[in-house]
């Protein structure tokens, strides 16, 4: 272990074991402490500071202690002790002088190597040093500060808490709770539930047999291969999540969120960072603000909202509901109905297998290959509708309307209204429509014969073919064209 190098008592109290080499190797002090104690029940407790603590579980029935005290000043070294008591288990405590008069630079440390029965509960509290544990039994409690914690092959419930140092957990057989501040947390292979909270450090988790709950701030989060459910809260950093077995609830802010391969209900809330969701085997809900959203491969319903960012949604096996503000919407391959709303931007949708309801303001609308009815409300932008099997209703203000490719086999009623722009509709071959067309400050032209019942310069009422299906066209200050 590296050793503490301090100048003066105040530095000792503030910095603790700031680790370094001895100032003078010739004056170094070293003392070994070796003890073997039978374990008769209770708990193995370690209360240490300025130490590296190593604990290993074994098949033996006793507790074995090996410690080395080191100091650059012999007088100081003789006042440092490792104290062992055997009441209600085994307790090991380090003792340092509180009022030692310093002479120049000094260094000191304690290395503690401890073996315990595999079924003995272990509690370790350390400050200004590291903790490592391997193969410890149920009920492990590890608390540290200003140093790392590393745990491997632990069995049973485990709690680890740290600050200003990392926590690493590998091969945990049982539930684990990890709390950290100002340091990273990494977890690999947990046969149980995992709960992690952290601040100002990254979190990495992989291979969890049950559920995972993570709360973090100011650090990135990467989670993969959780067989249960995931609940994640983060801020001011990115989030990457993949391969979750039983649904995910994710909340982030001021950072990117990327989620893929989730089996079950998935809910994502994010702001001021882009959101990407792919391969969701269940319903998806995304609520975002001030950022872009992309989602594809959704085996359920999709509900997506954002502001001041583009929404791109594709390959949804059921209905989709999209709401945006001041951002474009691009949608394709929806195996169900679509409801989309935005303003000050465009809406583009193609290959929708269901009724399509669009509301826009100050942006264009383009719809292609719609297997169902179409309803559009927009303003100050054009509306283009092509290849529709159902009826079409478009209301526009100060924008053109074009409807082509009415491909349904039965009656497809058409209702179109705009002003200050052109209006055009292309009817299928051999059409049968009851026609009402009105305009002002424009003219009406038709390539199809209309048997009129009323006709003026600005109005035509009549039938095309046998009539029956409604065709109602209304314009102000623009032309109407029927083809």
Please write down the HEC assignment for all residues of 220-271. Answer: CEEEEEECCCEEEECCCCCEEEEEECCCEEEECCCCCEEEEEEECCEEEEEE
Domain that includes residue 382, residue range: 355-483
The pLDDT of residue 156 is 87
Please tell me the distance from the alpha carbon of residue 43 to that of residue 46, in angstroms, as a whole number. Answer: 10
Instruction: Tell me whether residue 366 is in a domain.
Output: yes
Instruction: Tell me whether residue 198 is in a domain.
Output: no
The pTM score is 0.90
Instruction: Tell me whether residue 271 is in a domain.
Output: no
The pLDDT of residue 452 is 84
Dihedral sign, Cα of residue 216, residue 217, residue 222, residue 224: positive
Instruction: Tell me whether residue 238 is in a domain.
Output: no
Instruction: Tell me whether residue 45 is in a domain.
Output: no
Going residue by residue through the chain (483 aa), what tens digit of pLDDT does each one get? 333 433 333 333 333 333 333 444 556 899 999 999 999 999 999 999 999 999 999 999 999 999 999 999 898 899 999 999 998 899 999 999 876 555 557 789 999 999 999 999 999 999 999 999 999 988 899 999 999 999 999 998 999 999 999 999 999 999 999 999 999 999 999 999 999 999 999 999 999 999 999 999 999 999 999 999 999 999 999 999 999 999 999 999 999 999 999 999 999 999 999 999 999 999 999 999 999 999 999 999 999 999 999 999 999 999 999 999 999 999 999 999 999 999 999 999 999 999 999 999 999 999 999 999 999 999 999 999 999 999 999 999 999 999 999 998 889 999 999 999 999 999 988 899 999 999 988 899 999 999 988 777 689 999 999 999 999 999 999 999 999
Backbone torsions φ then ψ of 243, nearest 5 degrees: 60, 75
The pLDDT of residue 18 is 35
Number of domains in the chain: 1
Instruction: Tell me whether residue 291 is in a domain.
Output: no
Instruction: Tell me whether residue 419 is in a domain.
Output: yes
Instruction: Tell me whether residue 380 is in a domain.
Output: yes
What are 7's two structure tokens? 């100048």
Name all contacts of 58-61 with Cβ < 8 Å and 24+ positions apart.
58/115, 58/116, 58/117, 58/118, 58/135, 59/117, 59/118, 60/115, 60/117, 61/117
């Amino acid at each position: 272990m590296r050793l503490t190098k301090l100048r003066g008592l105040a530095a000792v109290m503030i910095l603790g074991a700031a680790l370094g080499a001895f100032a003078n190797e010739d004056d170094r002090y070293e003392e070994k402490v070796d003890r073997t104690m039978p374990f008769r029940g209770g708990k193995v407790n370690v209360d240490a500071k300025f130490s590296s603590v190593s604990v290993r579980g074994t098949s033996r029935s006793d507790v074995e202690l090996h410690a080395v005290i080191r100091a650059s000043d012999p007088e100081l070294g003789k006042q440092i002790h490792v104290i062992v008591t055997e009441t209600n288990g085994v307790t090991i405590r380090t003792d340092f002088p509180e009022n030692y008069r310093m002479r120049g630079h000094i260094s000191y440390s304690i290395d503690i190597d401890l073996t315990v029965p595999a079924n003995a509960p272990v509690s370790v509290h350390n400050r200004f040093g590291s903790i490592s544990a391997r193969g410890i039994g149920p009920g492990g409690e590890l608390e540290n500060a200003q140093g790392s914690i590393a745990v491997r092959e632990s069995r049973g419930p485990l709690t680890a808490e740290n600050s200003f140092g990392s926590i690493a957990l590998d091969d945990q057989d049982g539930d684990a709770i990890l709390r950290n501040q100002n340091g990273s947390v990494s977890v690999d292979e947990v046969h149980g539930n995992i709960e992690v909270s952290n601040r100002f450090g990254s979190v990495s988790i992989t291979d969890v047999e049950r559920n995972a709950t993570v709360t973090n701030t100011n650090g990135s989060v990467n989670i993969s291969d959780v067989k249960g459910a995931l609940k994640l809260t983060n801020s001011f950093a990115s989030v990457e999540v993949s391969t979750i077995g039983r649904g995910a609830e994710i909340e982030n802010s001021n950072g990117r969120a990327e989620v893929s391969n989730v089996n079950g209900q998935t809910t994502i809330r994010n702001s001021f960072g882009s959101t990407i969701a792919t391969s969701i085997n269940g319903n998806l809900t995304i609520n975002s603000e001030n950022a872009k959203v992309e989602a594809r491969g959704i085996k359920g319903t999709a509900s997506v909202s954002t502001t001041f960012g583009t929404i791109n949604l594709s390959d949804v096996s059921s209905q989709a509901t999209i709401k945006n503000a001041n951002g474009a919407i691009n949608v394709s391959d929806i195996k169900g109905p679509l409801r989309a709303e935005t303003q000050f931007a465009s809406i583009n949708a193609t290959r929708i297998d269901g009724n399509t309801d669009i509301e826009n303001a100050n942006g264009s609308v383009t719809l292609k290959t719609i297997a169902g009815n179409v309803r559009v409300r927009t303003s100050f932008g054009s509306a283009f509708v092509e290849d529709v099997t159902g009826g079409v209703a478009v209301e526009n203000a100060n924008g053109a309307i074009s409807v082509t490719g009415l491909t349904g086999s039965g009656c497809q009623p058409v209702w179109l209204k705009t002003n200050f722009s052109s209006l055009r509709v292309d009817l299928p071959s051999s059409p049968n429509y009851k026609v009402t067309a009105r305009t002002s400050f424009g003219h009406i032209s038709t390539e199809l014969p209309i048997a009129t019942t009323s006709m003026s310069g600005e109005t035509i009422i009549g039938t095309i073919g046998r009539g029956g299906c409604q065709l109602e066209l209304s314009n102000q200050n623009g032309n109407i064209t029927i083809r």
